Amino acid sequence: MTSTSSPLFEPFQAGGLHLANRIVMAPLTRNRSPNAVPGPLGVEYYRQRASAGLIVTEATAISHQGQGYVDVPGLYAPEQLEGWRRVTDAVHAAGGRIVVQLWHVGRVSHRELQPGGGAPVAPSAITAKTKTALKRDGRVVFEPTAEPRALALEEIPAIVEDYRRAARAAVSEAGFDGVEIHAANGYLVDQFLKTGANHRTDAYGGPIEHRARFLLEVTQAVADAAGAPRTGIRLSPVTPANDIVDADPQPLYDHVMRRLGPMGLAYVHVIEGATGGARALPERPFDYDAMRRAWRETERPGSRGAWMVNNGLDRALAEAALARGADLVAFGRPYIANPDLVQRLRTGAPLNTPVRETFYGGGAEGYTDYPTLEAATA
């Protein structure tokens, strides 16, 4: 048995979010929301995992234009909000806390998923060398993304408003405890940030201050709508996910953190290294401690948001992260197969192994049928 005496299992206050422990369920795309509507399986899936200190939902599109993968949920239609309300009610009844991750994929999409079969939008018309999920003969398959078109300057404010509207609906109609802005992994906000995807020469491109403008406008709009103490943001400084890269990420993210600090956010969620891969990238060195200091040094007095870290953690790495100054630790893939991950980490019980073939699409198999410790010993 592993000792249960650990800060991992202590309550924590992240902005306006009171959490029963410091273990977070990271967002996990599962492609099980036909017509972008969360269904009964999703209700059960999230209810099973309510012992996490905080659940961050799978990435959820703020608009039809923001969709990039088949059968992922949305926040832009009444039936989607109703579906999410059933999820949040179930999580709350089980004693959990849940926030929704706000998503616009930008160029990581396909014409089949866009309104009227149009081209995906992006800061610049640069195709991402990656794939997205479509459905063929009832199965989820992965195909190359489509060539995007560059957003016109006058289109950008409407997307910021889509974020604002989605955030307001998430807390006031769908019952979420808060929201997380997906500004990582090569999606739209990340595309504006980074030189590999943003070749604009207007107020949203070029120098760091311009490339950070979209992220800061979105964050302020979301914080105004949901409340800053209930708003988090996810960042991935050096991940190569979805063909994203920046020529010099350290000064970029130090600038972003200095601008985010005064907003008084609930938390900053940082992917260390390559998403789902190596935690250290020698070819892309980065000082995460400097990034955190830039945020703490400018943070709104009295707000004390949480610093959340993510990527390939086990209990030992999670406890080491807390010892180095993190406040929360997020687990992704282990939560696919272990709905009672908190109990397993607490007791040192073995983890179920996730079945990769059932990650994306399908039904209950590989989604809601993984056994808990209680079920396994019954």
Q: What is the pLDDT along the chain (378 residues), one digit of tens a residue?
A: 455 689 999 999 999 999 999 999 999 999 999 999 999 999 999 999 999 999 999 999 999 999 999 999 999 999 999 999 999 999 999 999 999 999 999 999 999 999 999 999 999 999 999 999 999 999 999 999 999 999 999 999 999 999 999 999 999 999 999 999 999 999 999 999 999 999 999 999 999 999 999 999 999 999 999 999 999 999 999 999 999 999 999 999 999 999 999 999 999 999 998 899 889 888 889 999 999 999 999 999 988 899 999 999 999 999 999 999 999 999 999 999 999 999 999 999 999 999 999 999 999 999 999 999 987 776
The answer to whether position 308 is within a domain reads: yes
- CA–CA separation, 226 and 231 (whole Å): 7
Which of 101, 110, 104, 155 minimizes the C-alpha distance to 135? 110
- CA–CA separation, 225 and 291 (whole Å): 26
Q: pLDDT tens digits, residue range 180-210?
A: 999 999 999 999 999 999 999 999 999 999 9
Give, as one character, the DSSP assignment of residue 349.
P
Q: Which residues of 317-347 are buried (b: 16+ CB within 10 A; e: fewer)?
A: ebbebbeeebbbbbbbebbbbbbbbbebbbe
Q: pLDDT tens digits, residue range 139-150?
A: 999 999 999 999
Task: Point out the residues that are catalytic.
Answer: 187
Domain that residue 222 falls in: 9-332
| Cα separations in angstroms, 166 against 10, 76, 106, 188, 272 | 32, 7, 16, 16, 27
Q: Identify residue 349 by its one-letter amino acid code.
A: A
- CA–CA separation, 144 and 264 (whole Å): 39
Where on the phi/psi map is residue 64: left (φ > 0), alpha (ψ -120 to 50), or beta? alpha
Q: Which residues of 63-76 are buried (b: 16+ CB within 10 A; e: fewer)?
A: bebbbbbbbbbbbb
CATH number at residue 63: 3.20.20.70
Beta-bridged to residue 19, according to DSSP, are 12
Write phi, then psi, for 119 (nearest 5 degrees).
Answer: -75, 145
The answer to whether position 359 is within a domain reads: no
Q: How many CB atoms are located within 10 Å of the residue 118 CB?
A: 12
The answer to whether position 128 is within a domain reads: yes
The answer to whether position 175 is within a domain reads: yes
The 3-state DSSP composition of the chain as helix, strand, coil percent (nearest 5) reads: 40, 15, 45
| Cα separations in angstroms, 349 against 51, 337, 342 | 16, 13, 10
- CA–CA separation, 136 and 113 (whole Å): 13
Q: Identify residue 100 by its one-letter amino acid code.
A: V
What is the DSSP code string of 120-187? PEESSS---SSEEEEEETTEEEEEEPPPPEEPPGGGHHHHHHHHHHHHHHHHHTS--SEEEEEE-TTS
The answer to whether position 32 is within a domain reads: yes
The answer to whether position 197 is within a domain reads: yes
Domain count within the chain: 1
The answer to whether position 376 is within a domain reads: no
